[in-house]
Amino acid sequence: MRRAASLDACSATAARGTQMQQLLTFKSGRLRRSLGLQLHDAYATLSLPAGRAAVFSITLARTADEATCACGATSTAAWDWALEARDIDFGVRWTAAAGEPAELHPTSRHEAAAGPVEGSFELPEGCESGLLELTLSNRFSYFRSKAVSYRIGTAAVKAEPRVE
């Protein structure tokens, strides 16, 4: 009798465990889909053909209230990108409104295995406006296109690439 009660208790515990496992599997699947959608919404994907480059141009300007600037310009830009495979050249250039272009990050090769690239640039003191250009170049490649996931722009505006 005692043994039968023990087996019934084990069966009930196993059934609760199976129900719990199914519930956890369902919840973890929903969470995984939700996070995947959020990442998908946060990053854009660029397929850069062989022999081409993408240039992201961001206008930076100092304003009294950056949140309400009609042109969408702010004084800080940020970038975050990751390469799916292989390698790509990356460079950053700044041109003040009344000045010569300056290389902030000379063009250099980045391997996908090195992981994501993050950076930011704030308008220098004494400078009222200018143009920040970020270049992802695949010009060195003759056959392979590259896939890049990116988030580039300011708090107000997401930058769109110009493929050259």
Is residue 74 pLDDT above 80, yes or no? no
Rg (CA), the chain: 25
Which pLDDT score is estimated for 140? Answer: 95
Domain count, the chain: 2
1 burial type by CB count under 10 A (0-12 exposed, 13-18 middle, 19+ buried)? exposed
Higher pLDDT, 14 or 160: 160
pTM comes to: 0.69
Higher pLDDT, 120 or 29: 120
The reply to whether 37 and 57 lie within a common domain is no
The reply to whether 36 and 50 lie within a common domain is no
- For 1-53, write each residue's pLDDT tens digit: 554 444 444 444 444 556 656 555 555 555 555 555 454 557 889 999 999 99
The reply to whether 32 and 55 lie within a common domain is no
CA distance 41 to 106: 30
Average pLDDT score, the chain: 77
Is residue 145 pLDDT above 90, yes or no? yes
CATH number at residue 88: 2.60.120.680
Out of 5-9, 25-29, 55-59, 61-65, least confident range = 5-9
Which pLDDT score is estimated for 56? Answer: 93
34 burial type by CB count under 10 A (0-12 exposed, 13-18 middle, 19+ buried)? exposed
CA distance 14 to 3: 16
Mean pLDDT throughout 111-138?
90
**Could you identify the residue written with the tokens 């041109």?**
95
- pLDDT class for 146, splitting at 50, 70, 90? very high
CA distance 145 to 7: 62
The reply to whether 65 and 94 lie within a common domain is yes
Alpha helices per DSSP H over 43-90: none
The reply to whether 78 and 119 lie within a common domain is yes
The reply to whether 66 and 33 lie within a common domain is no
Q: Supply the range of the domain harboring residue 70.
A: 44-163
The reply to whether 56 and 35 lie within a common domain is no
The pair of three-digit structure tokens given for residue 15, joined into one six-digit string: 């059934």
Which pLDDT score is estimated for 32? Answer: 55
The reply to whether 35 and 64 lie within a common domain is no
The reply to whether 79 and 122 lie within a common domain is yes
* Integer angstrom CA distances of residue 56 from 24, 94, 96, 151: 43, 12, 16, 11
The reply to whether 93 and 21 lie within a common domain is no
Contacts of 111 (CB under 8 A, 6+ apart): 83, 86, 87
The reply to whether 78 and 142 lie within a common domain is yes
